[in-house]
Amino acid sequence: MKRYLWFCAPMFLFVSLAETQDLVVDQFESYSNDFELMENWPFSKAGGEDGLFIFLDKTNHPPEGSFCLELDVDMPAKWWYNIIQRNLDNSPLDLSQYRSVSFWIYGDDSLNAGDLAVVCFLYDSQNRVLRFPLPNEYVVNASWQKVTLAIDSFVDEQWDAGYGTANPDAVRDDIVKLGLMCVGNVDNIFATLFVDDIRIIGSSQSSTVQGTIVEGETAMASVMVHAIGHNSVEITKTDENGHYIFSELIQGRTYRILPQENGYDFNPGVVSQTLLNAEYTFDFVGAPSIYNDLETTTIRDAFDEGGLNPEIVYRGVAQWNNPGDDRPVIEVTQDKTYIVGFPDAQQVDAFMPGIEPNALAGASSPRFAVEIGLSYAWDMLVFGQNTNRNYYAEVDAYCEIRDDLAAGYDRISLGIRCNASNPSSPVLDGAGDTVPYMSSGGYALSYETDTAQIVARKYGNSNDTAHALHRLEGYAADFASVAINESGWHRFRIECQDETITFLVDGNLLISVTDPEYSRGPAGLHYRACFADNPFDLQNIHHARFDNLLAGPTRVVCVENWMVQ
C-alpha cells in the first residue's frame, strides 16, 4: 500500500518519538462528595440556570474503579451549552508528545442521533481551544464504550478567545486544561450521560478499514481509494476482486474513505468515520459518471431567460429548491430582495440593486445571469467530473466596488480543480468548522469587494470558515492580481494543462504558474458572504452574478480538429 499526500499537499514530516507516559486527567476516585467534584470541574453556562449538572456516580457499574462522572443535561432551548473544565497536572503540555485523548462514555438511548452534541476540548493558556466532536452513535448508545480521540485530529475552535483575530489557533505546546461540552441541537433536551477514566495517551493504536467496490455484479479492479486524514492521505488500489484494505490507520482519527476512478461516480460518494474501533468495512458501488467530462466535451451556458442549459449536469448548490426562491437565473437590471440570516436565528431582508447588462463580447443574453449565493455563508455551482485534469473554464463575472460597507465583503470566484473529497458538494475556499482538514482547495480567480482586486490564487486544503472569512495566514497563496477602477463585468478564464495553471482576465494574461498541488477536480462558480453572523451585517450581502459560461478540454480532442481548445 502506498502512502503519500493526495494532490501533493504540503508535506508533513513525522518523527518517531519515544512513547510518553500517559497522563491521567481524572479517574473520579479521589472525591469524597459532589462539591469536591464541582470544585475541580468548574463549568460555564449559556441559556440560564438550567443546562448541565455534574455528580459522582457509582450505581452505573463504572468500567474502572467505583466512581464515575454523571452528566445530567437539562436544556430547554436549542444551542444552549455547558462546558466543564479540568486543569491538567504538569501543564503546560506539549501535544506533540502525546497521541490521543481516551475515556469511557455511557450514552443515553432516549436521545435521537444528533439531538445532543458532546465535544472534547483542549485549552491553551490564552483560552484558545482545540476540539473533537464525539460521533453521534456514542452519545445515544446506552452501554460503556471506550473512546480514543487522536490528538492530531483535534481542530481549532472558531468561537474561542482567538476568533477573528490574526492568530485564532490554539498553541499546541501550551495546553493547560481539558473540557467537555454538551450542546443541544433541538429544544428540550433531557439526558443523562456517564464518563470515566479520562487520560491523555502517549501511545497510539491502529484500525483496519476494508471493503469491496463493484459495478453491478462485477468487481472493479485498480480503483484508487483514499483514506483522507488530518494531515496526510493514504492511498491504495482494489485488487482483481474489487477488494481494498487499509490496515494501519490511526485509531481516534477521523478519516474520509473516498474511491476515485476516471469516468465513474460511487455510491456512497464518500464515507466519513471516526475510527474508535479496531475494524470497519465500507463497500461502494460504481457507475459511469453522470457529470460532463470537461476533458472530452465543450460545454456552454448562456444563462438566458430560459434557465440553465439542461445538457449540463450541475451540483453542489445549497438552496435553489427552497419555496419562493426564484434563482438560479435572474434579470440583472432588476432590483432583488431576498431573506438572509443564520439558521434558526432572526431573518431579515437583504437588498441587491440592479446592475448594467453584460456588454462583453459573446454575451448572448446580456440582461440575464445566474445568481450564486446563500442566506449567510457560501454557495457554489459545480460542473465537471471529480477526476478531470486538463481543461479550461471561462465565465463573465460582475465585480462590484462596495464603498457602502464599514465591515465585511463579498467574494466571488471561478474555481478550477476544486476539492472533491466530498463528491456531492465540492468545496473551494473553506469547508466549515466541523471537519475542515483536507477538504478545501483549488485554483481560482477571485474578486473581493473590499479590495477591488481580481486575484489569481490557490486556496489552502484545510481551511475552516474563520480562515476563509478573515483571510488568516495560510488560507490562500496569491500569485498575481489586477485592480479595477469601477464596478462592471469582467471575463475570468483559467486553463489547466498538467502542472501549468494559466490565469487570464478580460483576455489578457495575468500569470501562468507551475504548481503540482491540485492535480484533478471539477470547476465551479463560487460565492462567499464574508460577514459576521448577525442579521445587521448579513443584510449587506450582494450575491454573485455570472454569465456566459464556457468550459472544455485544453488538449486536442480529435484528429479532425487539431486546434488546442
The domains located in the chain, with CATH, are 20-201 (2.60.120.430), 206-288 (2.60.40.10), 313-553 (2.60.120.560)
Residue 172 reports pLDDT greater than 80: yes
Average pLDDT over residues 257-277: 92
Residue with more model confidence, 540 or 562:
540
Q: Rounded to an integer, what distance in angstroms lies between the CA atom of residue 198 and that of residue 195?
A: 8
Range of lowest pLDDT (162-171, 365-374, 449-458):
162-171
Average pLDDT over residues 250-272: 92
As a residue count, the chain comes to 565
**Burial of 135 per CB tally in 10 Å (0-12, 13-18, 19+):** middle
Q: Rounded to an integer, what distance in angstroms lies between the CA atom of residue 144 and that of residue 195?
A: 9
Residue 2 reports pLDDT greater than 90: no
Predicted local confidence at residue 152, as pLDDT: 82
Of 410, 438, 446, nearest to 524 (Cα)? 446
Predicted local confidence at residue 261, as pLDDT: 95
Confidence band (pLDDT; 50, 70, 90) for 465? confident
Confidence band (pLDDT; 50, 70, 90) for 436? low
Range of lowest pLDDT (355-369, 423-437, 497-511):
423-437
Q: Rounded to an integer, what distance in angstroms lies between the CA atom of residue 28 and that of residue 199?
A: 12
3-class secondary structure, 104: strand
Ramachandran area for residue 546 (φ above 0: left; ψ -120 to 50: alpha; else beta): beta
Give pLDDT tens digits for 413-422: 999 999 988 8
Residue 215 reports pLDDT greater than 70: yes
Range of lowest pLDDT (39-53, 132-146, 264-278, 375-389):
39-53
Ramachandran area for residue 83 (φ above 0: left; ψ -120 to 50: alpha; else beta): beta
Residue 10 reports pLDDT greater than 70: no
Could you give the percent of the chain with pLDDT greater than 70? Answer: 88
**Burial of 526 per CB tally in 10 Å (0-12, 13-18, 19+):** buried
CB contact burial 38-48 (16+ within 10 A = b; e otherwise): beebebeeebe
Average pLDDT, the chain: 86
Residue with more model confidence, 204 or 297:
297
Of 546, 458, 524, 124, nearest to 294 (Cα)? 524
Residue 534 reports pLDDT greater than 60: yes
3-class secondary structure, 139: helix
Residue 219 reports pLDDT greater than 80: yes
Ramachandran area for residue 39 (φ above 0: left; ψ -120 to 50: alpha; else beta): alpha
Confidence band (pLDDT; 50, 70, 90) for 9? very low
Average pLDDT over residues 376-381: 88
- Distances 81 to 75, 119, 233 between C-alpha atoms, Å: 8, 11, 34
- All 3 cell numbers of residue 418? 476544486
- All 3 cell numbers of residue 493? 478564464
Are the beta carbons of 499 and 514 closer than 8 angstroms?
yes
Residue 559 reports pLDDT greater than 50: no
